[in-house]
A and B are shown apart, each in its own frame.
Chain A
């Protein structure tokens, strides 16, 4: 079975500060990894994804994430937070094979608050 753990249900940063949202996954086969953002009363929007190849992936709005197989992590970062980044962020894992083929499994979410 695959699973995702997001460390910290709430993260608060000042505007202009580094954003770091942590995600660890478990998967018995190489995973596909995703970060989604959800604004209030909205659906989920894909920020970035890792499938194969380069382990540092860049997404929209200045976010990036690094796949570290040895640490089973896929942490999301942004060098400088903006007020508009305030939202809930979800890490998710999927696989191209195995019993969880095609199943996108989400973490519990991290609410990011940005202070002026």
Chain B
């Protein structure tokens, strides 16, 4: 069974440019998470989906970040415009329930904003 797939693995952009990350969760997992991991820190939740509904987006900077999960499967996280402080690893995870049990993580997208 394939794990959580994220693309791209690495992305370098200039500040003020837009960027998008894509995530394909494990088949059958109804819960999808986007986390941001700054260097030397633990992951911080940006948004959590139950199927296609965003049930927790309180930590998502809505002025520049947006996310969608059409049809309750794949998800896209977008930043527009990117700032230098957005440089981080963006992790996608999925699970079968909303309790965080057995959350499986993708390899992440390392974003560098220059």
Q: Which residues from chain A contact B97 at a C-beta distance below 8 Å?
A: 102
- Counting CB contacts under 8 A, is A49 at the interface? yes
Residue on B with the closest CB to A101? B98
- Counting CB contacts under 8 A, is B42 at the interface? yes
A46–B50 Cα distance when bound, in Å, is 21
Least CB distance from B24 to A in Å reads: 13
Please give the number of chain B residues whose Cβ is less than 8 angstroms from any Cβ of chain A in the complex.
28
A102–B98 Cα distance when bound, in Å, is 5
Q: Which residues from chain B contact A18 at a C-beta distance below 8 Å?
A: none
Residue on A with the closest CB to B3? A43
Least CB distance from B82 to A in Å reads: 21
Q: Which residues from chain A contact B43 at a C-beta distance below 8 Å?
A: 44, 90, 106
Contact code string A72-116 (vs B, CB < 8 Å = 1, else 0): 000000000000000000101011100001111111110000000
Question: Residue A108 contacts which of B42, B45, B102, B108 (CB distance < 8 angstroms)?
Answer: B42
A96–B98 Cα distance when bound, in Å, is 8
B11-33, CB < 8 A from A = 31, 33
Q: Which residues from chain B contact A4 at a C-beta distance below 8 Å?
A: 42
Q: Are A103 and B45 within 8 A (Cβ)?
A: yes
Question: Residue B42 contacts which of A41, A90, A101, A102 (CB distance < 8 angstroms)?
Answer: A90
- Counting CB contacts under 8 A, is B4 at the interface? yes
- Counting CB contacts under 8 A, is A42 at the interface? yes
Q: Are B107 and A103 within 8 A (Cβ)?
A: no
A59–B44 Cα distance when bound, in Å, is 24
Q: Are B101 and A43 within 8 A (Cβ)?
A: no
Q: Are A44 and B99 within 8 A (Cβ)?
A: no
Q: Are B44 and A106 within 8 A (Cβ)?
A: yes
- Counting CB contacts under 8 A, is B55 at the interface? yes
7 additional contacts (CB under 8 A) given A44-B43, A102-B97, A109-B42: A32-B101, A43-B107, A43-B108, A46-B104, A102-B50, A102-B55, A106-B43
- Chain A residues within 8 Å of B, Cβ to Cβ: 4, 9, 32, 34, 36, 41-46, 49, 51, 90, 92, 94-96, 101-109
| Ranked 9 nearest A-B pairs via Cβ | A94-B100, A106-B42, A102-B98, A43-B105, A104-B100, A44-B105, A43-B107, A96-B99, A106-B43
